[in-house]
């Protein structure tokens, strides 16, 4: 669907099977090289359950 930065341990099987490919094989990136190392993915902002908003607010305040 598009490029993503994922942990090697998470996608190792998919890389070996060929269902995922490395875009920048000569580069190694870690989440610590970014201003923020945490990302939250959720389907839509149109309907965001209160408990999801609460978790996001908590993580934002404590990370």
> What secondary structure, in 3-state letters, does the chain show?
CCCCCCCHHHHHHHHHHCCCCCCCCCCCCCHHHCCCCCCCCCCCCCCCCHHHHHHHHHHHHHC
54 pLDDT tier (thresholds 50, 70, 90) = very high
Q: Please state, for a pLDDT cut of 90, what percent of the chain lies above it.
A: 22
Where do the domains of the chain lie?
8-62
Min mean pLDDT across 5-9, 24-28, 31-35, 57-61 is at 31-35
CA dihedral of residues 22, 9, 6, 41 (deg, nearest 10): 150
What Rg do the C-alpha atoms of the chain give, in angstroms?
15
Which tokens in the block code for residue 25?
């094989």
CB 27 within 8 A of CB 3: no
């Amino acid at each position: 669907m598009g490029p993503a930065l994922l942990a090697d341990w998470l996608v190792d099987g998919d890389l070996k099977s060929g269902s995922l490919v490395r875009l920048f094989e000569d580069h190694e990136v870690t989440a610590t090289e970014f201003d923020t190392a945490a990302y939250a993915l959720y389907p839509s902002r149109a309907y965001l359950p209160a408990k999801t908003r609460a978790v996001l607010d908590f993580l934002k305040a404590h990370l």
